Amino acid sequence: MTRDLHLIRHAKSSWNEPHLADHDRPLNARGRRAAPLIGRAMALQVHESPRFFVSTARRARDTFSGLCDGWPQLKKASMSETSALYTFSWETLSDWLGECDDSLYNLAIIGHNPAMTDLINYLCPDLALDNLPTAGWVWLRFEASSWSEAVSKPSGAKAIESLRPKALMGEAR
CA distance linking residue 22 with residue 24, whole number of Å: 5
The whole-number pLDDT of residue 162 equals: 95
The whole-number pLDDT of residue 171 equals: 55
What H or E segment, with its residue span, contains residue 8? strand 2-9
**Each residue of 122-150: pLDDT tens digit?**
999 999 999 999 999 999 999 999 999 99
**Each residue of 65-120: pLDDT tens digit?**
999 999 999 988 889 999 999 999 999 999 999 999 999 999 999 999 999 999 99
Q: What percent of the chain has pLDDT over 90?
A: 87
The whole-number pLDDT of residue 25 equals: 95
Rg (CA), the chain: 15
173 — pLDDT class (breaks 50, 70, 90) = very low
Q: What are phi and psi of 6, to 5 degrees?
A: -110, 120
pLDDT of 31 above 90 = yes
The whole-number pLDDT of residue 90 equals: 97
Q: What b/e sequence results for 63-97 when a residue is b if at least 16 CB atoms lie within 10 Å of its CB, and e otherwise?
A: bbbbbbebbeebeebebebbeebbbeebebbbebb
Mean pLDDT of the chain: 94
- Angle formed at CA 141 by CA 137 and CA 147, multiple of 5 degrees: 105
3-state secondary structure of 114: coil
